Amino acid sequence: MTGSGREKTPYCPVGRVLGLRERKKLEAWRTIRSTALRLISERGFDAVSVEDIAAEAGVSRTTFFSYFRSKEAVVYDLDPQELQQWRELLADAPGDEPLWEALTGLVLSLAELLADRLPLQKRLFQQSPELCDSSRDVCDSFGPDLREWVARRTPDGDELHAALVLNTAFAAFNTAIEAWDPDDSFDHFLDLARDCLRLAGGGLARSVS
Amino acid sequence: MTGSGREKTPYCPVGRVLGLRERKKLEAWRTIRSTALRLISERGFDAVSVEDIAAEAGVSRTTFFSYFRSKEAVVYDLDPQELQQWRELLADAPGDEPLWEALTGLVLSLAELLADRLPLQKRLFQQSPELCDSSRDVCDSFGPDLREWVARRTPDGDELHAALVLNTAFAAFNTAIEAWDPDDSFDHFLDLARDCLRLAGGGLARSVS
DNA sequence: ACCCGAACCTGAACTCAGTACAGAGTTTTA
DNA sequence: TAAAACTCTGTACTGAGTTCAGGTTCGGGT
């Protein structure tokens, strides 16, 4: 919905020094999120309604939707502080590396940033296939930013190549997520992601099998 | 929804010789689909409700949902005959080629199979970003079959590689779709798809830019 | 300290996707 | 031609997502 506007409201800015308002908002965001994750991991995604989450978080249904665009978003969205770190990462990324190498680095940094959330998230995927189906992309929340970053450093005429590189990096990342067992260590996931990115970057054509 | 069962009902079987029942069903399927595409291309995806489609197609809302799992599905699903051709393609695919080459071939054959529908579909994407967002994958309808095909010809222990190859092929295909202008010839699209698959297969790491 | 505007929260009412089901109608089969 | 199997339809329901008109709370001046 909402056409393709990026952010309806500049929600949860996370500036340097937070006023009372901003602190409350961040707190509300986190209460809703953690409540949601708790309920969903207890009962499964489908068995929890937005109403349940809102009630349990002590907030109205309407407010829930002012913090999260959809029910899935409460699972996928980055914490405002993570989002800020992610944007700093993008801002600081070197501009001289070849695109694929730069992207590989970014994706791996991102993975580390998500270290806390990913295991739980992956477990939710396994419990609730409907979650997997709907948003098949864990990339939803950071994807747009990354797209923009790629676009900015892409010379005219090379859009196809840039898009291909980006989509392939996503594919590699998602493949690693799919393959990972959340009971294994997170380092193991990082290895998987590295492997996938390396294989995809090195060319899938000539290869085993 | 529906756990992860493949097909709730074996709808529209398209056997060799069709009985009256099957003929009616195929006809109904096509009426609904074409009505839907017409209305949606006239008014936009969001401005058309399932009720509108059903009414215009002379069928009940309930019946609509017995033919299509969702409102998006009516745009994405393969025609039962296309689906059959696609399955034959899979069945006939050689088992001795390396995985990437085999997949490349399959994806390109698939593209040709979709020649009629793709231009309109791409135009709908452009008109209705909400369509793009929701099902970011044109691969939805044939993806499961292809996954299964890949799984069958994957030796144990190589699942990661197989998944990576598959996801990357999808990524390349989607990239081509994204990049294609539906006012250009369909051959141009095929060239794009070929290029994307070749680039991804050949290794994105060392490359221009 | 006070006030005003802006930002925020809320309940209520609404639209629409998707599901369940029971009954009526149609095709198939024997 | 009658029973069995399948299909369609209306009805009624759940729940996601939106809109909106208040009420409340915060922040920045003065």
* Residue A113 sits in the same domain as residue A170: yes
* pTM (two decimals): 0.87
User: Hey, are the CB atoms on A205 and B101 less than 8 Å from each other?
Assistant: yes
User: Is A207 part of a structural domain of the chain?
Assistant: no
* Residue B95 sits in the same domain as residue B198: yes
Average pLDDT in the A47-71 region? 97
Search chain B and give the residue with CA nearest A99.
B209
* Residue A135 sits in the same domain as residue A180: yes
User: Is A120 part of a structural domain of the chain?
Assistant: yes
For A114-149, write each residue's pLDDT tens digit: 999 999 999 998 988 888 776 566 777 888 889 889
- B98 lies in which domain range? 80-202
User: Is B193 part of a structural domain of the chain?
Assistant: yes
User: Choosing among A71, A100, A133, A164, which should be mutated to test the B contact, i.e. which has the most B CBs within 10 A?
Assistant: A164
* Residue A84 sits in the same domain as residue A53: no
User: Hey, are the CB atoms on B204 and A159 less than 8 Å from each other?
Assistant: no
Of residues A189, A191, A148, A179, the one with CA closest to residue A166: A148
CATH at residue B26: 1.10.10.60
B83 burial type by CB count under 10 A (0-12 exposed, 13-18 middle, 19+ buried): middle
Average pLDDT in the B159-185 region? 93
Given a cut of 70, is residue A10 above it in pLDDT?
A: no
Tell if B27 CB is < 7 Å from nucleic strand C.
no
* Residue A30 sits in the same domain as residue A108: no
Average pLDDT in the B78-85 region? 92
Average pLDDT in the A98-112 region? 92
Tell if B59 CB is < 7 Å from nucleic strand D.
yes
Please work out, in degrees rounded to the nearest 5, the angle formed at the alpha carbon of residue B178 by the alpha carbons of B173 and B181.
115
When the pLDDT of each residue in chain A is averaged and rounded to a whole number, the result is: 87
* Residue B191 sits in the same domain as residue B136: yes
Report the Cα A26 to chain-centroid distance in Å.
18
When the pLDDT of each residue in chain B is averaged and rounded to a whole number, the result is: 87
Which of residues A30, A46, A71 is at a domain's end? A71
User: Choosing among A168, A174, A192, which should be mutated to test the B contact, i.e. which has the most B CBs within 10 A?
Assistant: A168
User: Is B104 part of a structural domain of the chain?
Assistant: yes
Please state the domain count of chain A.
Answer: 2
Give the whole-number percent of chain A exceeding pLDDT 90. 64
CA atoms within 13 A on the CB side of B132: 16
User: Hey, are the CB atoms on B171 and A175 less than 8 Å from each other?
Assistant: no
Give dist(CA B201, CA A46) in Å, integer. Answer: 39
Most confident of A23-27, A88-92, B92-96: A23-27
* Residue A34 sits in the same domain as residue A109: no
> How many cross-chain Cβ pairs, A to B, lie less than 8 Å apart?
123
A128-137, B45-54, B70-79, B151-160: lowest mean pLDDT where?
A: A128-137
pLDDT confidence bin for A209, thresholds 50/70/90: very low
**Contacts with A, B 56-85, CB within 8 Å:** none
* Residue A123 sits in the same domain as residue A191: yes
> DSSP letter string over B161-201?
HHHHHHHHHHHHHHHHHHH--TTS-HHHHHHHHHHHHHHHH
User: Is A209 part of a structural domain of the chain?
Assistant: no
Q: Is the dihedral of CA B120, B125, B130, B131 positive or negative?
A: positive
A137 touches A79 (CB < 8 A): no
Tokens 């221009």 -> residue: B208
- Say what the pLDDT of residue A137 is: 66
CATH at residue A123: 1.10.357.10
User: Which of the two residues, B80 and A144, has the higher pLDDT score?
Assistant: B80
Q: Phi first, then psi: give them for residue A203, nearest 5 degrees.
A: 105, 120
* Residue A148 sits in the same domain as residue A46: no
User: Is B3 part of a structural domain of the chain?
Assistant: no
Q: State which nucleotides on strand C lie below 7 Å from a protein beta carbon.
A: 7-12, 15-21, 27-29
Scan residues 50-109 of chain A and list those with Cβ within 7 Å of strand C: 58-63, 66
- Say what the pLDDT of residue A6 is: 36
* Residue A50 sits in the same domain as residue A100: no
> DSSP letter string over B145-156?
HHHHHHHHTPPT
Give dist(CA A8, CA A10) in Å, integer. Answer: 7
Tell if A9 CB is < 7 Å from nucleic strand D.
no
Give dist(CA A197, CA A200) in Å, integer. Answer: 5
Is A98 touching B (CB cutoff 8 A)?
Answer: yes
For A18-49, write each residue's pLDDT tens digit: 788 899 999 999 999 999 999 999 999 999 99
DSSP type of residue B77: P
- Say what the pLDDT of residue B24 is: 95
* Residue A186 sits in the same domain as residue A88: yes
User: Which of the two residues, A16 and A90, has the higher pLDDT score?
Assistant: A90
* Residue A100 sits in the same domain as residue A196: yes
Closest nt to A21 (CA→C1')?
Answer: D26
What is the SS3 assignment for chain A? CCCCCCCCCCCCCCCCCCCHHHHHHHHHHHHHHHHHHHHHHHHCCCCCCHHHHHHHHCCCHHHHHHHCCCCCHHHHCCCHHHHHHHHHHHHHCCCCCCHHHHHHHHHHHHHHHCCCHHHHHHHHHHHCHHHHHHCCCHHHCCHHHHHHHHHHCCCCCCHHHHHHHHHHHHHHHHHHHHHCCCCCCHHHHHHHHHHHHHHHHHCCCCCCC
- Say what the pLDDT of residue A135 is: 57
Please work out, in degrees rounded to the nearest 5, the angle formed at the alpha carbon of residue A167 by the alpha carbons of B133 and B154.
110
- Say what the pLDDT of residue A8 is: 39
